[in-house]
């Protein structure tokens, strides 16, 4: 009798450490027998998990109430915006004339600079957010591209580099020219006019900052919702 009781207690201890075995035992119990766990309740979240879920839920509700994103524009002037969810880069495509294709890859905010702020209510410093742009101008399949590396600020677009991109024949470490600001003022002016004629200008920089501000809110909400869903499972 004692050995039977010991074996029973050992089995109970094993089942407690193995909930699946406990559920299986309950499923095989005869009708009318008093069983526990025949219809197991969902596992209770730990206080730590519950706290994370609560904080994320509150933050999501706050963002939706006080800074709700809107449906983004897919057109800007002659350009079409291609935005893929959960990615940090937006593609913008357009044409100039009959033979030029323009493709722009724009990052989400990837830097900033601090500038003086004025006024009695000011903290003394403002932050200007930065976007990086790669502008490719192509004249047909198999042709070389003219590529511009640009910085987009909230109210202006600056060129950092300009060079010819030789498709399929690019050296491993190509020479891509000097810093754009080291070129003569006349050369800089003409290339800015070249881009402006194709719609790549300060106006585009303003649009992109507004677009990315909205995308940043969209992606933040998606990110928090994904975290919450994972912890809830």
Dihedral (CA of 195, 101, 97, 74) sign: negative
Contact 215, 129 (CB under 8 A): no
Q: What are phi and psi of 183, to 5 degrees?
A: -75, 165
For domain 75-225, which architecture applies? Roll (3.10)
Q: Where are the beta strands (DSSP E) in 176-219?
A: none
Domain spans of the chain, in order of start: 1-41, 75-225
CB 231: neighbour CB atoms within 10 A? 15
Measured distance CA(212)–CA(109) in Å, rounded:
7
Chain segment 10-27, per-residue pLDDT in tens: 443 444 444 444 344 334
Chain segment 22-45, per-residue pLDDT in tens: 344 334 333 333 443 444 434 577
Chain segment 67-95, per-residue pLDDT in tens: 899 999 999 999 999 998 889 999 999 99
* Strands 145-153, 125-138: pairing kind: antiparallel
Whole-prediction pTM value?
Answer: 0.73
């Amino acid at each position: 009798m004692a050995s039977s009781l010991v074996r029973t207690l050992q089995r109970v201890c094993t089942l407690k450490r193995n909930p699946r075995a406990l559920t299986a035992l309950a499923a095989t119990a005869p009708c009318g027998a008093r069983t526990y766990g025949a219809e197991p309740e969902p596992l209770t979240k730990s206080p730590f998990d519950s706290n994370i879920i609560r904080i994320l839920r509150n933050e999501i509700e706050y963002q939706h109430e006080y800074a709700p994103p809107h449906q983004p524009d897919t057109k800007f002037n002659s350009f079409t915006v291609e935005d893929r969810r959960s990615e940090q880069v937006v593609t913008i495509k357009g044409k100039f004339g009959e033979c030029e294709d323009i493709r722009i890859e724009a990052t989400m905010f990837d830097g900033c600079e601090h500038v003086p702020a004025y006024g009695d209510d000011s903290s003394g410093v403002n932050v200007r957010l930065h976007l990086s742009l790669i502008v490719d101008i192509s004249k047909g399949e198999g042709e070389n591209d003219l590529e511009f590396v640009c910085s987009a600020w909230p109210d202006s677009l600056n060129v950092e580099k300009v060079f010819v991109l030789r498709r399929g024949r690019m050296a491993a470490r190509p020479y891509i020219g000097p810093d754009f600001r080291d070129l003569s003022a006349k050369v800089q002016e003409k290339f800015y006019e070249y881009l402006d004629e194709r719609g790549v200008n300060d106006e585009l920089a303003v649009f992109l900052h507004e677009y990315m501000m909205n995308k940043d809110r969209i992606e933040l909400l998606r990110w928090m919702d994904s975290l919450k869903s994972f912890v809830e499972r």
